[in-house]
C-alpha cells in the first residue's frame, strides 16, 4: 500500500535555522531517501513553499472564489510530504520516525486510496 507521510511544522521554522542546520537537516532527508530507494519503497519527496504562497479555491452556491493563503489558520502548516510503498503500517511508522522534522513538528501518516504507482515509484 502507498502511504503519504505529511510533515507539519511551525511556520518559519526552516527560515529560522542557520545554513549549517539546514544543511544537516537536508542530509538527514537525503539519508532517508537513499535508504528507502535501496529498499524499493521510495515514491516521492516534496518540499512545499511557505503557506503565504498558497491559494485556496472554494465553490459555494455555484460561485467559485479564490483567496490568498491556506484555508485554515493553524500554528503548524503542511511543509511537505513523502510517499512510500510499505508492506505494513509499522513500516510507514518506522519511516515517519526517521523524518527529521518530527523533532519539532508532526508527521501524519495517511494511506493513499488511489495512485498511479508508475508515476510514484522510481
Show the 3-state SS of 87-101. CCHHHHHHHHHHCHH
34 secondary structure, DSSP code: H
Write out pLDDT tens, residues 22-52: 999 999 999 999 999 999 999 999 999 888 8
Position 22 scores a pLDDT of 93
pTM for this predicted structure: 0.83
Question: What grid cell was written down for 14?
Answer: 526552516
Residue 115: pLDDT band (50, 70, 90) is: low
Average pLDDT over residues 88-96: 95
Given a cut of 80, is residue 70 above it in pLDDT?
A: no
2-115 CATH pick, 3.30.70.1060, 3.40.1590.10, 2.130.10.10, 1.10.10.60 = 3.30.70.1060
Cα angle for residues 72, 84, 47 (degrees, 5° grid): 45
What pLDDT, on a 0 to 100 scale, did the predictor assign at position 55? Answer: 86
Amino acid at each position: 500500500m502507498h502511504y503519504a507521510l505529511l510533515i507539519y511544522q511551525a511556520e518559519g521554522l526552516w527560515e529560522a535555522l542557520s545554513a549549517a542546520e539546514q544543511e544537516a537537516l537536508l542530509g538527514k532527508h537525503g539519508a532517508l531517501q537513499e535508504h528507502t530507494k535501496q529498499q524499493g519503497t521510495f515514491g516521492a519527496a516534496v518540499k512545499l513553499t511557505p503557506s503565504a504562497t498558497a491559494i485556496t479555491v472554494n465553490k459555494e452556491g455555484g460561485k467559485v472564489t479564490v483567496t490568498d493563503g491556506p484555508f485554515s489558520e493553524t500554528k503548524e502548516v503542511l511543509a511537505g510530504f513523502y510517499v512510500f510503498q510499505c508492506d505494513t503500517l509499522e513500516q510507514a511508522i518506522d519511516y515517519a520516525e526517521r523524518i527529521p522534522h518530527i523533532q519539532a513538528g508532526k508527521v501524519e501518516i495517511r494511506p493513499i486510496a488511489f495512485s498511479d504507482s508508475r508515476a510514484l515509484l522510481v
